């Protein structure tokens, strides 16, 4: 199987490139080889590489910056997935696309199901929803596209440029006191577990498995459990201290969202239900705290080798 993987310079793409290697010939591409903002670049790369499976882990992820770069966010997150779907259909290839909890408005107080109506609050969420809808339009029109849309949330990992965990570790090494929002609730999710889940899903939904045990459609995947950003920050520092990370922080102060205004509105509650994907994988994902511990151990080993 030839797998075309976009976004390999990102935190999830890099993890996927490692985890998927046993499944076939993984061709990882970054923006230089496949620019998601340029339709011709997308079509050209796919025509050249002729993959059996396309995994789109590339995205415009600057949530606040998207408010002033709506056209770019829409091109990468909204328009590109439909082009990927059309190219996959033409080749007879399968498609896995990564989406987000930000397609929801956060007004629920129970975990969001795949069937719940999206209502994004900002440009980023709207662009990601447009990408989902583009894929589903291609699938509905053809009746033949084999695809999975995998929504996840609060993603962090060892690889890539930055994330909440790395930011907290940096600030924790510089400051004695850190203020963190406590009234936004979700599930921190480690890229290592997302990549492992995708590796398990591929044999279950690709055409080689007939009939598929993971039918085309939308799936939610996060680690299990619930936390606020404040809870997450406190846990990061507790686990990091146990691993001897250099930390100066003494106090983590919970604050309200209104005390930390940002250009983009964020959902107050974006916990995703994992029941559907657990029934396919046969088990529930690990708790977010356990996953955090695993990530920090790997990051510690990479950052401070003996």
| Residues labelled catalytic | 124
Phi, psi of 147 (to 5 degrees): -145, 155
Under 8 Å between Cβ of 12 and 98: yes
Residue 160, sorted as left (phi over 0), alpha (psi -120 to 50) or beta, turns out to be left
Please give the C-alpha separations between residue 130 and each of 79, 81, 125, 275, 281, in angstroms, as whole numbers.
7, 9, 9, 25, 27
Q: Cα(154)–Cα(191) distance, rounded to whole angstroms?
A: 10
Q: Cα(193)–Cα(222) distance, rounded to whole angstroms?
A: 8
Provide DSSP, 217-246. Answer: EEEE---BS-EEHHHHHHHHHHHHHHTT--
Radius of gyration of the chain (CA): 19
Residues comprising the chain, all counted: 306
In 3D space, the residue among 65, 163, 147, 151 whose CA is nearest the CA of residue 102 turns out to be: 151
Number of H helices, E strands in the chain: 10, 12
Instruction: Look up residue 125 and give its DSSP letter.
Output: H
Under 8 Å between Cβ of 94 and 210: no
Structure tokens at 52: 């059996």
Based on the number of CB atoms within 10 Å of its own CB, is 110 exposed (0-12), middle (13-18) or buried (19 or more)?
exposed
Distance of CA 109 to the CA centre of its chain: 22
């Amino acid at each position: 199987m030839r797998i075309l993987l976009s976004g390999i310079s990102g935190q999830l793409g890099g993890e996927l490139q490692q985890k998927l290697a046993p499944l076939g010939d993984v061709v990882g591409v970054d923006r230089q080889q496949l620019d998601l903002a340029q339709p011709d670049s997308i079509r050209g790369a796919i025509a050249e590489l002729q993959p059996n499976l396309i995994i789109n882990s590339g995205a415009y992820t600057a949530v606040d910056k998207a408010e002033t770069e709506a056209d770019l966010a829409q091109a990468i997150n909204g328009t590109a997935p439909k082009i990927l779907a059309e190219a996959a259909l033409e080749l007879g290839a399968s498609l896995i696309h990564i989406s987000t909890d930000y397609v929801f408005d956060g007004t629920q107080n129970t975990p969001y199901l795949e069937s719940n109506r999206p209502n994004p609050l900002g440009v980023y969420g709207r662009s990601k929803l447009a990408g989902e809808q583009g894929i589903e339009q291609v699938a509905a029109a053809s009746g033949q596209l084999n695809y999975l849309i995998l929504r996840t949330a609060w993603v962090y990992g060892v690889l890539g440029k930055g994330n909440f965990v790395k930011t907290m570790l940096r600030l924790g090494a510089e400051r004695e006191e850190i203020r963190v929002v406590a009234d936004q609730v979700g599930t921190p999710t480690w890229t290592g577990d997302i990549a492992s889940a995708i590796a398990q899903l591929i044999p279950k939904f690709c055409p080689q498995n007939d009939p598929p045990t993971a039918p085309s459609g939308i799936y939610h995947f996060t680690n299990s459990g619930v936390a606020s950003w404040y809870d997450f920050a406190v846990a990061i520092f507790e686990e990091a201290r146990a691993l001897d990370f250099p930390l100066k922080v003494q106090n983590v102060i919970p604050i309200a969202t209104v005390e930390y205004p940002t250009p983009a509105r964020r959902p107050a509650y974006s916990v995703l239900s994992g029941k559907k994907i657990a029934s396919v994988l046969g088990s529930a994902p690990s708790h977010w705290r356990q996953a955090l511990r695993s990530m920090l151990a790997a990051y510690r080993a990479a950052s401070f080798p003996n």
